[in-house]
Amino acid sequence: MSLLASTARPSEAGTVHIALGDRSYDIHIGPGLLGAPSVWATVPQAHSAVIVTNETVGPLYAERLAHALGTRFRRVLQVSLPDGEAYKTWESLNRVFDGLLAAGCDRKTVLFALGGGVIGDLTGFAAACYMRGVPFVQVPTTLLAQVDSSVGGKTAINHPRGKNMIGAFYQPVQVVADLDTLDTLAARELSAGLAEVIKYGPIADAAFLDWVEAHLDALLAMDKEALAHAVRRSCEIKAWVVGQDEREGGLRAILNFGHTFGHAIEAGLGYGEWLHGEAVGCGMVMASDLSVRLGLMPPSFLQRMVRLVERARLPVRGPKLGTDRYLDLMRVDKKAEGGEIRFVVIEALGRAGVRAAPDEVVAEVIEAHTG
Residue 78 contacts residue 50 (beta carbons within 8 Å): yes
d(CA 106, CA 100): 8
d(CA 351, CA 349): 6
**Helix H segments across the chain?**
58-69, 90-102, 117-129, 143-144, 187-204, 206-220, 224-244, 259-269, 276-293, 299-311, 323-330, 359-368
User: Residue 369 catalytic?
Assistant: no
| CATH architecture group of domain 187-368 | Up-down Bundle (1.20)
End-to-end CA distance of the chain: 35
What pairs with residue 139 in β-bridges?
114
Residue 106 contacts residue 74 (beta carbons within 8 Å): no
Let me know the angle formed at the C-alpha of 7 by 5 and 10, rounded to the nearest 5 degrees.
110
Residue 185's nearest CA partner among 148, 237, 235, 224 is 224
Buried residues in 339-360 as b, exposed as e (16+ CB within 10 A): eebbbbbbbbbbbbbbeebeee
- Give the pLDDT confidence score for residue 245 in this predicted structure: 87
The more confidently predicted of residues 149 and 317 is 317
Q: Residue 366: pLDDT above 50?
A: yes
User: Residue 263 catalytic?
Assistant: yes
Dihedral sign, CA of 155, 212, 370, 296?
Answer: positive
Residue 344's nearest CA partner among 262, 234, 230, 247 is 262
* 12 DSSP assignment: B
Q: How confident is the model at residue 263 (pLDDT cuts 50, 70, 90)?
A: very high
- Catalytic residue selected from 189, 246, 248, 266: 248
- Catalytic residue selected from 196, 236, 246, 278: 196
d(CA 142, CA 191): 10
* Residues of each annotated binding site for Zn(2+): 196, 259, 276
- Catalytic residue selected from 17, 232, 263, 342: 263
Q: Residue 122: pLDDT above 70?
A: yes
- Give the pLDDT confidence score for residue 345 in this predicted structure: 98
User: Residue 259 catalytic?
Assistant: yes
Mean pLDDT of 3-29: 73
Q: How confident is the model at residue 333 (pLDDT cuts 50, 70, 90)?
A: confident
- Give the pLDDT confidence score for residue 3 in this predicted structure: 52
Residue 330 contacts residue 293 (beta carbons within 8 Å): no
Q: How confident is the model at residue 172 (pLDDT cuts 50, 70, 90)?
A: very high
Pairing of strands 342-348, 351-356: antiparallel
- Give the pLDDT confidence score for residue 36 in this predicted structure: 87
* Residues of each annotated binding site for NAD(+): 83-88, 117-121, 141-142, 154, 163, 181-184
Instruction: Compute the radius of gyration of the chain from its Cα atoms.
Output: 20
User: Residue 320 catalytic?
Assistant: no
User: Residue 196 catalytic?
Assistant: yes
Q: Residue 32: pLDDT above 90?
A: yes
**Chain Cα centroid distance, residue 33:** 20
Mean pLDDT of 180-189: 96
Question: What totals of helices (H) and strands (E) does the chain contain, helices first?
Answer: 12, 11
User: Residue 334 catalytic?
Assistant: no
Mean pLDDT of 152-176: 93
d(CA 227, CA 231): 6
Residue 305 contacts residue 199 (beta carbons within 8 Å): no
- Catalytic residue selected from 233, 276, 334, 342: 276
pLDDT tens by residue, 37-73: 889 999 998 999 999 999 999 999 999 999 999 989 9
Q: Residue 12: pLDDT above 50?
A: no
Least confident segment among 84-88, 94-98, 206-210: 84-88
d(CA 331, CA 335): 9
Report domain 31-184's class. Answer: alpha beta
Mean pLDDT of 169-190: 96
User: Residue 229 catalytic?
Assistant: no
Most confident of 235-249, 282-296, 336-350: 282-296
Per-chain mean pLDDT for the chain:
93
- Give the pLDDT confidence score for residue 162 in this predicted structure: 85
Q: What separation in angstroms does the CA of 166 have from each of 68, 90, 103, 200, 340?
A: 33, 10, 26, 25, 20
User: Residue 238 catalytic?
Assistant: yes
Domain boundaries, the chain: 31-184, 187-368
Pairing of strands 110-115, 136-140: parallel
Mean pLDDT of 94-104: 97
Q: How confident is the model at residue 6 (pLDDT cuts 50, 70, 90)?
A: very low
User: Residue 225 catalytic?
Assistant: no
Residue 368's nearest CA partner among 282, 310, 309, 254 is 282
Residue 81's nearest CA partner among 93, 72, 71 is 93
